[in-house]
Amino acid sequence: MINAPDEKPKITWPLLRRVLHYAKPYRWQIMAMLLLILVQSGVGLLTPLIMRDMIDVTIPAGNLNRLITLAVVLLLIPVVNGVINVVQRRLSTVVGSGVIYDLRVALYANLQRMSLRFFTNTKVGELMSRLNNDVTGAQNAISSTIVSIITDVVQGVAVLGVMLTLEWRLTLISVVILPLLILAARLLGNRLRDMARQQMEANARMNAMMNETLNIGGALLVKLFGRRQSEIDRFAERAAQVRDLGVQRTLIGSVFSAITGLISAFGTAFVYGLGGYFVIRGAFTVGTIVAFGSYLGNLYRTLQGLSNAPVEFATSMVSFERVFEVIDLPVDIPEKPDALVLRDVQGELVFEDVSFKYETGDEKFLSSVRRYGSIDNVTAVLSGAEASADGAAGAPRSQARSLALDCISFRAAPGQLVALVGPSGAGKTTLTYLIPRLYDPTAGAIRIDGCDLRDLTLESLSTHIGMVTQETYLFHDTIRTNLLYARLDATLEELEAACRAANIHDFIAALPEGYDTIVGERGYRLSGGEKQRIALARVILKNPRLLVLDEATSSLDSESEALIQDALSRVMAQRTSIVIAHRLSTILAADLILVIDRGRIVESGNHATLLAQDGLYASLYQMQFHTPTQ
């Protein structure tokens, strides 16, 4: 779902109540700010009255002592206002920074609860835009916009009350221009609000592109295909959108200020003209008209601020809406309130008629960011597109289908090694993703020691399952930090023991910085085999009861493959292991081999049994492993 360009944020009471909820922890600071606003408004009313007294009473009477006293008071007023401004700014900063903290933590916590599906369908740059730009905009609503509105209202009411006591006729004439200010705010305010939303979306698109092309994988791809200039041009186009929207927003804001200023000037000229006439006629004194003129300037500045307030407030609400959209995203993998803690795991794993389908709808994703160059109704790879199950003559068997997994049933006894084999795209990786609940089955159930995964706490489930994916991910940090991610309280001896079991300790010890060596972005300073062995060491340190491995080594040299093969034999010992097998040694050692094709288990058994059946497994074996050298 994508918002229409002219869609307006709906400022409703539930939305306002939710916004105020984030201000509630800072209610005492806000109350202190309101008190200071009242004091400052009262102090601000004194200057025109003092000026009137000096002009009408003190100077004509030649009262030097009174004149000195009034002059000192005029000097103290800005000093008091300055102190109040400093204290108020500090309180405002405390509230604003606190709101930013609370919103960011709430956003990040909810994103951590999202399933893998969410992250495969959402650009990271857009999430960064929500966590940074939109959160800052939401902060301004509480620490700046709302405070400014309250200040303007208090000052406006106070000034208007004093003006009425001075001269009610001029006061009524002064507020005649109020409808013109409201009309200008409605005409240009809506446009400013729309520009604010478009600018946020343009920033999100630019951030998304920066994240995609400046991470190590994106940068490598750009260089390998020689697309440096085209990416510069594409970024320049998106940056130009941000620039142009910023210029347009500033221009419209300047026009708005100019119009409201002109309206205010018209009112001021009219009031001074009429006031001068009353002075000439003797209706009131020169001091009164001077004081009235000063109050009139304050009133028009306040009214101009209030005419801007709906625009600024609605713009802030756009930021809150975008932040709340992320916070309100439904969790794909919910945890039951009474979920059980998985303890004393034996390691039995059972799939009972498990089916799974990748959802392609975007109703659970971010909706308000327009994605540059995207096409409506984009579907996933496994979209059910019409394709021959057998493929064209001589072509590989097509794996396109609607269900990624279809009625999968098997049992892995504690300590068994189950090997998954089958053509690319058959559903092997999808099957492994269901075990740690990266996804939930569309139908059927998965049980560990008789407990349905959906009845268990996610934390306890994660504790007892170790997974090494084909694409090893390491943080841009030290080897030690990456290893300790598995178990934060692990000792140095345990760390080294895990690395010895993974055949990587000697390599790490030979590095100049040893375990404190920085691995680089995504571990790119290490070779593929080194990264895989560090990933294995990390899993060994975790010491899970169930192990899920994609043991692909096709891109590794023979020495690295031999080291990993030796490490795997130690890792899988005494553990229930589900392995996407790419090596004959793993297949031969498996207690159970599951042959998967088009999301179904088409054959199962041990190596000898499956060869005797002369089916798909025998065909794959002949193609991949049965060479004259074997």
Whether the predicted pLDDT of 383 surpasses 60: no
Whether the predicted pLDDT of 220 surpasses 80: no
Whether the predicted pLDDT of 189 surpasses 80: no
Whether the predicted pLDDT of 445 surpasses 90: yes
Whether the predicted pLDDT of 555 surpasses 90: no
Reported as a single tens digit per residue, the pLDDT across 489-509 is 888 999 998 888 888 888 899
Whether the predicted pLDDT of 204 surpasses 80: no
Q: Residues 346-365: what's their mean pLDDT? A: 79
Whether the predicted pLDDT of 173 surpasses 80: no
Residue that wins the pLDDT comparison between 34 and 521: 34
The whole-angstrom separation of Cα 301 and Cα 159 is 11
In a domain, 205, yes or no: yes
Burial class (CB in 10 A: 0-12, 13-18, 19+), 379: exposed
Average pLDDT of the residues of the chain:
79
Q: Domain span at residue 528?
A: 415-435+462-624
Which stretch, 184-188, 295-299, 383-387, has highest mean pLDDT? Answer: 295-299
Q: Report the pLDDT value the prediction gives residue 398, as an integer from 0 to 100.
A: 58
Whether the predicted pLDDT of 408 surpasses 60: yes
Is residue 505 a contact partner of residue 563, using CB atoms and an 8 Å limit?
no
Single out the residue of 137, 148, 42, 136 nearest to residue 89, CA to CA.
148
Question: In Å, how far from its chain's centre is CA 137?
Answer: 14
Residue that wins the pLDDT comparison between 491 and 188: 491
Q: Residues 86-96: what's their mean pLDDT? A: 86
Q: How many domains would you assign to the chain?
A: 2
What residue spans of 435-522 are helical by DSSP H?
A: 458-464, 479-484, 492-501, 505-510
Q: Report the pLDDT value the prediction gives residue 251, as an integer from 0 to 100.
A: 84
Of 302-316, 359-373, 456-470, give the lowest mean pLDDT range: 359-373
Query: How many other C-beta atoms lie within 10 A of the C-beta of residue 50?
Result: 17
Q: Using the structure block, give the residue that is written with the tokens 């290893």.
A: 483
Strand 451-452: give its sheet, edge to edge.
405-412, 349-356, 443-448, 451-452
In a domain, 406, yes or no: no
Whether the predicted pLDDT of 62 surpasses 80: yes
Whether the predicted pLDDT of 486 surpasses 90: no
In a domain, 338, yes or no: no
Using 50, 70 and 90 to split pLDDT, how confident is the model at 556? low
Q: Which of 289, 311, 327 is the last residue of a domain?
A: 327
Reported as a single tens digit per residue, the pLDDT across 571-589 is 777 789 899 887 777 788 8
Q: Residues 430-458: what's their mean pLDDT? A: 91
In a domain, 446, yes or no: no
Using 50, 70 and 90 to split pLDDT, how confident is the model at 308? low
In a domain, 379, yes or no: no
Burial class (CB in 10 A: 0-12, 13-18, 19+), 477: middle
Q: Report the pLDDT value the prediction gives residue 446, as an integer from 0 to 100.
A: 94
Percentage of the chain beyond pLDDT 90 is: 9
Q: Report the pLDDT value the prediction gives residue 387, as an integer from 0 to 100.
A: 36
Query: Does residue 322 sit in the same domain as residue 471?
Result: no
Residue that wins the pLDDT comparison between 387 and 551: 551
Angle, nearest 10°, between helix axes 46-53 and 64-113? Answer: 170
Query: Does residue 493 sit in the same domain as residue 597?
Result: yes
Percent helix, percent strand, percent coil in the chain, to nearest 5: 60, 10, 30
Is residue 8 a contact partner of residue 198, using CB atoms and an 8 Å limit?
no
Q: Residues 197-220: what's their mean pLDDT? A: 77
Of 208-222, 383-397, 403-417, 542-556, give the lowest mean pLDDT range: 383-397
In a domain, 8, yes or no: no
- Coil, strand or helix: which one is 262? helix
**First-residue to last-residue Cα distance in the chain:** 56
In a domain, 518, yes or no: yes
Is residue 449 a contact partner of residue 346, using CB atoms and an 8 Å limit?
yes
Whether the predicted pLDDT of 629 surpasses 50: no
Q: Residues 123-129: what's their mean pLDDT? A: 75
Whether the predicted pLDDT of 367 surpasses 60: no
Q: Residues 363-369: what's their mean pLDDT? A: 50
Q: Report the pLDDT value the prediction gives residue 23, as an integer from 0 to 100.
A: 80
Structure-block tokens of residue 421: 């084999």
Query: Does residue 143 sit in the same domain as residue 34?
Result: yes
Whether the predicted pLDDT of 452 surpasses 80: yes
Query: Does residue 419 sit in the same domain as residue 278?
Result: no
In a domain, 260, yes or no: yes
Give residues with Cβ within 8 angstroms of 33, minimum separation 6.
88, 91, 92, 95, 147
Q: Report the pLDDT value the prediction gives residue 593, as an integer from 0 to 100.
A: 92
Q: Report the pLDDT value the prediction gives residue 602, as an integer from 0 to 100.
A: 92
Q: Residues 36-55: what's their mean pLDDT? A: 86
Whether the predicted pLDDT of 594 surpasses 90: yes
CATH number of the structural domain spanning residue 272: 1.20.1560.10
Structure-block tokens of residue 495: 């760390």
**Side-chain half-sphere exposure of 497, counting CA atoms within 13 A:** 9
Reported as a single tens digit per residue, the pLDDT across 520-531 is 777 778 887 788
Using 50, 70 and 90 to split pLDDT, how confident is the model at 5? very low
Q: Which of 279, 311, 327 is the last residue of a domain?
A: 327
Q: Which of 296, 327, 358 is the last residue of a domain?
A: 327
Is residue 421 a contact partner of residue 550, using CB atoms and an 8 Å limit?
no
Which stretch, 220-229, 313-322, 436-445, has highest mean pLDDT? Answer: 436-445
CATH number of the structural domain spanning residue 564: 3.40.50.300
Whether the predicted pLDDT of 411 surpasses 90: yes
Q: Residues 443-455: what's their mean pLDDT? A: 92
Whether the predicted pLDDT of 412 surpasses 80: yes
Using 50, 70 and 90 to split pLDDT, how confident is the model at 420? very high
Whether the predicted pLDDT of 630 surpasses 50: no
Using 50, 70 and 90 to split pLDDT, how confident is the model at 455? very high
